Amino acid sequence: MFYREAGDFKTSYKADNQTFPIRFDRYRFYAVLAVAWLVIPFVINDYLANAILLPFLIYSIAAIGLNILTGFAGQVSLGTGGFMAVGAYSAYKLMTAFPDVNVLIHVVLAGFITAAVGAAFGLPSLRIKGFYLAVATLAAQFFLVWLFNKVAWFYNYSASGQINAPERTVLGVPVTGANTAPWAAYLVCLGFVTVAALIARNLTRGTLGRKWMAIRDMDIAAEIIGVNPLTAKLSAFAVSSFFVGVAGALFFAIYLGAVEVGEAFGIQKSFLVLFMVIIGGLGSIFGSFAGAAFLVTLPVVLKLVGVDLLGWPTDLVAHFQLVIIGALIMFFLIAEPHGLAQLWRVAKEKLRLWPFPH
Amino acid sequence: MKKRLAMMALGAALLAGPAMADLVFPSLSYRTGPYAPGGIPFADGYADYFTLLNERDGGIGGEKAKVIECETGYNTEKGVECYESTKGEGALVYQPLSTGITYQLIPKTAADGIPMHTMGYGRTSAANGKVFEWTFNYPTNYWYGASIAIKHILDLNGGDIKGKTIALLYHNSAYGKEPIRTLQELSKKHGFNLTLLPVDHPGQEQKSQWLQIRRERPDYVLMWGWGVMNQVAIQEAANINYPMDHFIGIWWSASENDVLPAGAAADGYKALAFHNVGKNFPIYDDIQKYVVDKGLAAGNGDQIGTVLYNRGLYAAMLAAEAAKTAQELHGTAQITPAMMRDGMEHLEMTPEKMEALGVPNFGPAFSVSCENHGGNGLGAVAQWDAKSKSWSLITDFMEPDQDVVQPLIEEDSAAYAAENNITPRCN
Amino acid sequence: MSADFYYGVEVFLNGLMAGVLYALVALGFVLIYKASGIFNYAQGVMALFAALTLASIIEGQVPFARLINATFGTEIHDFGWRVPVLLAIVLSIGVMVAFAWLVQRLVFRHLVGQAPIILFMATIGLAYFLEGFGDLMWGSEIKTLDIGIPQGGNRWIEEHSAFLGGDDFYGFFIDNLDIVAALVAAVLVAGLVAFAQYSKQGRAMRAVADDHQAALSVGISLDFIWVLVWSLAGFVALVAGVMWGAKSGVQFSLSLIALKALPVLMLGGFTSIPGAIVGGLIIGVGEKLFEYLVGAPYLGGATENWFAYVVALLFLVFRPQGLFGEKIIERV
C-alpha cells in the first residue's frame, strides 16, 4: 500500500538509472539522512556517541570496505584488522608530522596509504582462492601488527608503544582529543559514512562493480569475456582497503583516541568485521550497515537488559550474551542464509503487495 | 535502520540516567575472556570490601558505598562503553584494570574531572601529579617494580651484579614493554647484561624463548606476563630445570592461578608484591562474619584470600580511605569526584592506620601529594611454596632506586605535557 | 661440530614436536571439512569445551553451579567426589558425541547445500555459543588438568646427547609432554586411517567425502555420517585440548590454539589428513628455526606468529591447493 512502484513513471534514462529508482525508497533514504544529520546531533550525548553511534558508524565504513572485497569481488579477507592498523598509524604519523594540515585530509590520505598496502597484499589473490586466500590474508594481519609493535618509528618512540591522538580542530571545533563534543565527533564520522556509502553504492553499480561481480561469480569465465583479473582483483583490494583504512583512522583518531596495535587491531577485529559483512548480507551496502548495527548494538542492549533491568550478575550476563549472540547468528542463518539484507529485501517484496497479498 | 537505532539508544540512555546519592565506585571488571582467571578474584575482592563497609560500618562516613560492576572482558571498546555508562551516576574513582583502557581514559577522565586509580599498572609517568591531575598510580608502578626486582637481585649477590646476565621475558604489548627503559638504565648503572625475550599474545607457545634461555643460561629471568603466558612460562621454566628462585615475576605474574598448573615444579618461584598475601588478617574474620555468612559474597565466594582477591581488597581499601580523607577535608559526607581527587592527593597510609583497619602490615606505608601521585614505590618479593600451596613475603617492603626512575618519569610526563599543552600544576 | 650446530638441531627437534601439537588441532578441521565442506571455526572452542568438561568432571563440579546459585540463592559447587580419569574421559567423549548430535540436528541439517561461507559463518555462531555455554556450565576460572601425563625435559635424552657438542652443549632438550603428544598423535592418526580404510562406517565416511549424492544413492545416511564426523572432531578436540591444557591449565586462551592450526591447514590442504601432519611439522620447524636463526638475533624476536603464515603463503603461491589438497579443477 505504502510501498509500491505503481504510478512511479520514469521519462528519462537519467531518472531510471538513479540510485533509488522507487520513489518510496528515495524518500525513506532522504528521511534517514535528515534524521542522521539534523536530529541526532541535537539529542546526542556522550554515552550515545561513544557506546553506540561512533562504533556503529566506523564499523559501517569498515564493513562497506570489506563487503566490496568479499561481497562484490568474492575475495574473502581476514586482514581487515591489519589494514585498519595501517590507517590508524598513517593517520597518527601524518597528524604528528604535519600538525597544521586539517585532520580530515589526514584521514583521507591514511585511506590512500592503506589502499596501496592493501593492493600489495592483494597480489597473492591472483594465485590463491577461497579459504586458502582467507588464511593467506592472515599473514598480512599478523605481519602488520608485528611491524607496528616492533618498529618504534611508527609510534614516535613513545615509552609504551601506545599512540595518542593529539587535539585537532575542524573549523575551530575540536574533533579529536578528549575535549571533543560528542556531536562534533559524530558529524565527522557521519560525513565519512555518507560519502563512503554513496561512493560504494555508485562504484558497485558501475563498470568496476560489474567487473568485480563477474570475478566473484566465476573468475575464469570473467577472464574469457574480457575482464582483466589483475586489475579487477587489485582494484577491489585497493578500494576495499581505502575504506578500511579510513575506518581505522577514524577508529583511532576520533573514537578511541589512544590505541595499542595488538589490542585494538588484532585478529579479533578482522573476524568481527567479517561477521558484520556476512550477517548483514554479502554484496549489499545496506547489509554492511545492518551487520554493523547488529554486532555493535546487540551486546549493549543485552547488557542493559540483563544488568540494569534484571539486575543479574555481570558475569552471567556476559556469558548469556555470548550464548544469545551465537544462537541468534545460527538462527538467522537457518532462517535466512543471505543475511539481514535479504530479510530486508523479502520484507520489501511483501510490503509491495501489502495489504493484498493475492 | 538508523531511526530505530537512535530510539533504542535513547531508551538505553534513559535507563542509565538516574543519579544516586550513594558514593559510587564503578568496578570495570572482566569475568569473561582470556584474562578472566585474573579478573574474577580482583573484582570479588573489590566488591566484598565495600559490602563489608556497608554491612559493618553502615558505609563510609555514614554514606552507603555502591559498587556498579561493568564487564569489559579486557576489551578497550567495552571499557569505553562502561566508562560512559557509569560516569553519569556520580562515579568517584575509576579502576580500569587494563593498560589499554587506562590510556584510553587518561584524557577522558581529565576532561570529565573524575579521578582514576591504576594500582600497579597503567601509565607509569602518571606518578607525576603536576602533569596528570586526575590519574593516580600509587603505591607503585612498573618502573619501580623493575628497580625493586634488580634491587632484590643485588641483595642476593652482595651488591655486585657486574657481568651477570638478566633476561626479561615479556608480553609483547604496551604493558610488557614498560620495564625495558628502566632495566636498560639500570644495566648501565650496575653493569649487567640485559636480554630481551618478547612473547606474542596469547603466549601459549614459548618453546623458542625457553630454548634460548636454556642455551644462554641467564643468571636471572624477569617476567612481565599476564594470562596464559604466566602459566606456560612457569611450566616451561620447570621443564628446562631453570632454578625457580632465580625466576622473578612482576605482581601480575604472581597469583595462585599462575603457579598451580605447574604443580610441585613451581616451588620457589618468586614474584614482586606491593601488598601482603594470605588471609591471616583480622579483616578476614569480619569478611566471613558480615559478608560470606550473610550470603553477600561477590562471585562464587571461593576466591577469598587469593593474591588477586587481596589486591582487589587493597584497591577498595585505598579508595575508601581516600574517600574518608576527602570527607574530612571538605566536611561533607557526600563527596564529588573533585573532592575525591583531593582526598586521594592527601591520602596517607601509615602502619597504625592499617592496624586499625584490621590489616596490619598489609601494604607499604606511603603518602600521596599533589606532585606525587605514585606513592613512594615500595615493593616486596613473595615466594611460592608448592607444598603448602601458599605465597609468603620473603623481604620487607623495599625502596626502589629513585635516582634512576624519577628522571624517566619526569622525561615521559614532560613529553606528554608538551604533546597535550598541559601546564604543570601544584606550584 | 660446534655447539651452535647442535642447538640448531635441538631447535629443529623441538619444532617437530611443536608441529605435532599444531597438527593435532588441524586434524579436527580436516575431518569436518573433508566430509561436509564446513570450515569449522569452532574447532578451537570445541577443544576448550572438551578439556573444560574433562577437568570439571574429574573435579566433580556441578554443571551450571553459578547459574543455579544466582537463581535460587543456593551454595553448591561440587559433588564432593573425584571421578577416575578414565571414566571422566569416557564421560567427556559422551558429552562431545551428544554435542555433535545436537549440532547436526539443530543447525547443520538445516543448512545443507548452502554456500561454504554461510556454513563458515554458522560455525562462528557456534563458537560464540559454545564459549558462553562452556563458561555458564563450568565457570571461567582456570582449571588444572592433571591426568598423569609426564612433563619436563627428558633427562635420558639430555644426558645421552650431551657429549656431542663439547662443553657449551647441554644435550638435547625434549619435553616429555611433547613425546607423549607425538605418540598419541601417531596412534590417533593410525586409528583414524584404519577406521577410514577398514570399517564400514569409515568407508561410508570416505564415500560421503567423495560425493554426497552418490553416497546418498547407495544408501548411506548423510545425517549419521555427519554426526560421526563431528563426534570424531570432538574427540580430536578433546585430545588437543588435553595436550595443550596440560601445559597451561584449562582456560579461555585454549580456544586460541585454532589460530596456530590455520597456517598448517593452508600448507597441508584442507582435505588431507597426512597434509595436516606434514604441514604441522613444516610450520613447527620453519617458525622455530626462523626465530632461532633470524628472528631472535636480528629482528627482536616474536616473529613466529606471522612467519608461520608467510611460510604457508610462499608454499601456496606455488601450489594453490596446499601440499596435499585435491587439485582444484575449474571449468567454465
Instruction: Give the pLDDT of residue C247.
Output: 81
Distance from CA of C108 to the nearest CA of A (A): 9
**Which run of H or of E encompasses B136?**
strand B135-136
Distance from CA of B204 to the nearest CA of A (A): 16
Q: Is the pLDDT of residue A38 over 60?
A: yes
Cβ contacts of B214 on chain C, cutoff 8 Å: 170, 173
Structural domains of chain B, with CATH: 21-139+281-375 (3.40.50.2300), 142-273 (3.40.50.2300)
Instruction: Determine the average pLDDT of the residues in A228-232.
Output: 91
Instruction: Give the pLDDT of residue A312.
Output: 79
Q: Is the pLDDT of residue A350 over 70?
A: yes
pLDDT digits (tens, 9 = 90+) for A302-340: 888 887 777 778 888 888 888 998 998 888 888 888 888
Task: Write down the ipTM of this complex.
Answer: 0.88
Distance from CA of B199 to the nearest CA of C (A): 6
Q: How many angstroms separate the CA atoms of B418 and B131, rounded? A: 10
| Residues 6 or more apart whose Cβ sits within 8 Å of residue B407 | none
Residue among C39, C132, C316 whose CB faces A323 most closely? C132
Distance from CA of C19 to the nearest CA of B (A): 11
B19 interfaces chain A, CB cutoff of 8 Å: no
Q: Between chains, do A257 and B104 touch, taking CB under 8 Å as contact?
A: yes
Helix A207-217 / helix A229-250 crossing angle, nearest 10 deg: 110
Q: Give the SS3 label for residue B384.
A: strand
- Find, in chain A, the residue whose alpha carbon is nearest to that of B298: A313
- Alpha carbons within 13 angstroms on the beta-carbon side of residue C269 total 17
| Residues 6 or more apart whose Cβ sits within 8 Å of residue B91 | B24, B25, B26, B68, B114, B337
Q: Residues of chain C whose pLDDT is less than 70?
A: 1, 332
Distance from CA of C252 to the nearest CA of B (A): 5
Q: Between chains, do A260 and B99 touch, taking CB under 8 Å as contact?
A: yes
B420 interfaces chain C, CB cutoff of 8 Å: no
Q: Between chains, do A337 and C111 touch, taking CB under 8 Å as contact?
A: yes
A325 interfaces chain C, CB cutoff of 8 Å: yes
Structural domains of chain C, with CATH: 3-318 (1.10.3470)
Q: Between chains, do A266 and B201 touch, taking CB under 8 Å as contact?
A: yes
Instruction: Give the pLDDT of residue A258.
Output: 86
Which chains pack against C, by 3+ Cβ pairs within 8 A?
A, B
Distance from CA of C172 to the nearest CA of B (A): 10
Cβ contacts of A84 on chain B, cutoff 8 Å: none
Cβ contacts of B31 on chain C, cutoff 8 Å: 140
Residue among C144, C244, C296 whose CB faces B260 most closely? C144
Instruction: Determine the average pLDDT of the residues in A48-54.
Output: 88
Per-residue cell: B64: 552507603
- Model confidence at A4, pLDDT cuts 50, 70, 90, reads low
Are residues A165 and B104 in contact, defined by beta-carbon separation less than 8 angstroms? Answer: no
Distance from CA of B355 to the nearest CA of A (A): 33
Q: Between chains, do B204 and C291 touch, taking CB under 8 Å as contact?
A: no
% of chain C exceeding 90 in pLDDT: 25
Instruction: Give the pLDDT of residue A246.
Output: 96
A129 interfaces chain C, CB cutoff of 8 Å: yes
Cβ contacts of A262 on chain B, cutoff 8 Å: 172-173, 201
Residue among A146, A324, A329 whose CB faces C306 most closely? A146
Residue among B207, B228, B300 whose CB faces C288 most closely? B207
Q: What is the pLDDT along chain B (427 residues), one digit of tens a residue?
A: 333 444 444 444 444 444 446 899 999 998 888 888 889 999 999 999 999 999 999 889 888 999 988 888 888 888 888 898 888 888 999 998 888 888 888 888 988 899 999 998 888 888 899 999 999 988 889 999 999 999 999 999 988 899 999 999 999 888 888 899 899 999 999 999 999 999 988 888 888 899 899 888 899 999 999 888 999 999 999 988 899 999 999 999 998 988 988 888 899 999 999 999 988 899 999 999 999 888 888 887 888 889 999 999 999 999 999 999 999 999 888 899 999 999 999 999 999 999 999 898 898 989 999 989 988 889 999 999 999 999 999 999 999 988 899 999 998 888 888 878 888 888 7
Instruction: Determine the average pLDDT of the residues in A262-274.
Output: 88
Instruction: Give the pLDDT of residue C154.
Output: 80
Cβ contacts of A333 on chain C, cutoff 8 Å: 111, 114, 118, 121-122, 125
DSSP B179: H
Residue among A76, A282, A323 whose CB faces C133 most closely? A323
Residue among A52, A257, A260 whose CB faces B174 most closely? A260
Instruction: Give the pLDDT of residue B7.
Output: 42
% of chain A exceeding 90 in pLDDT: 33
In three state form, how does the secondary structure of chain C look?
CCHHHHHHHHHHHHHHHHHHHHHHHHHHHHHHHHHHCCCCCCHHHHHHHHHHHHHHHHHCECCCHHHHHHHHCCCCCECCCCCCHHHHHHHHHHHHHHHHHHHHHHCHHHHCCCCHHHHHHHHHHHHHHHHHHHHHHHCCCCECCCCCCCCCECHHHHHHHHHHHCCCCCCCCCEHHHHHHHHHHHHHHHHHHHHHHHCHHHHHHHHHHHCHHHHHHCCCCHHHHHHHHHHHHHHHHHHHHHHHHHHHCECHHHHHHHHHHHHHHHHHCCCCHHHHHHHHHHHHHHHHHHHHHHHHHHHCCCCHHHHHHHHHHHHHHHCCCCCCCCCCCCCC
Say whether the peptide bond before residue A166 is cis (omega within 30 degrees of 0): no
What value, to the nearest 5°, has the Cα angle with vertex B418 and ends B412 and B423?
A: 105
- Find, in chain A, the residue whose alpha carbon is nearest to that of C128: A326
Look up the pTM and report it.
Answer: 0.90
Instruction: Give the pLDDT of residue A247.
Output: 96
Distance from CA of C120 to the nearest CA of B (A): 22
Please count the residue pairs, one from chain A and one from chain C, whose beta carbons lie less than 8 angstroms apart.
Answer: 144
Instruction: Give the pLDDT of residue B8.
Output: 42
Place of cell 616429555: C176
Please count the residue pairs, one from chain B and one from chain C, whose beta carbons lie less than 8 angstroms apart.
Answer: 125
How many angstroms separate the Cα of A158 from the Cα of each of A249, A258, B412? 19, 12, 8
CA B184 to chain centre: 23
Backbone φ/ψ region at C321: left (φ over 0), alpha (ψ -120 to 50), beta: alpha
Q: Between chains, do A314 and B71 touch, taking CB under 8 Å as contact?
A: yes
Which chains pack against B, by 3+ Cβ pairs within 8 A?
A, C
Q: Between chains, do C18 and B196 touch, taking CB under 8 Å as contact?
A: no
A316 interfaces chain C, CB cutoff of 8 Å: yes
Strand partners for A173: A170
Domains of chain A, by residue range, sit at 47-266
- The identity of residue B141, as a single letter, is N
Q: Between chains, do B228 and C251 touch, taking CB under 8 Å as contact?
A: yes
Distance from CA of A226 to the nearest CA of B (A): 39
Instruction: Give the pLDDT of residue A200.
Output: 93
Per-residue cell: C69: 546459585
Least-confidence region, from A146-160, A182-196, B327-341, B355-369: A146-160
Q: Between chains, do C252 and B36 touch, taking CB under 8 Å as contact?
A: yes
Q: For chain A, how many residues are written?
A: 358
* Chain B from 385 to 424: CB within 8 A of any A CB: 412, 415, 419-421
B36 interfaces chain C, CB cutoff of 8 Å: yes
Q: Between chains, do A40 and B100 touch, taking CB under 8 Å as contact?
A: no
Q: For chain B, how many residues are written?
A: 427
- Model confidence at A6, pLDDT cuts 50, 70, 90, reads low
Q: Between chains, do C77 and B300 touch, taking CB under 8 Å as contact?
A: yes
Q: Which of A314, A316, A317 to mutate to test the interface with B (most CBs of B within 10 A)?
A: A314
C158 interfaces chain B, CB cutoff of 8 Å: no
Q: How many angstroms separate the CA atoms of B367 and B373, rounded? A: 9
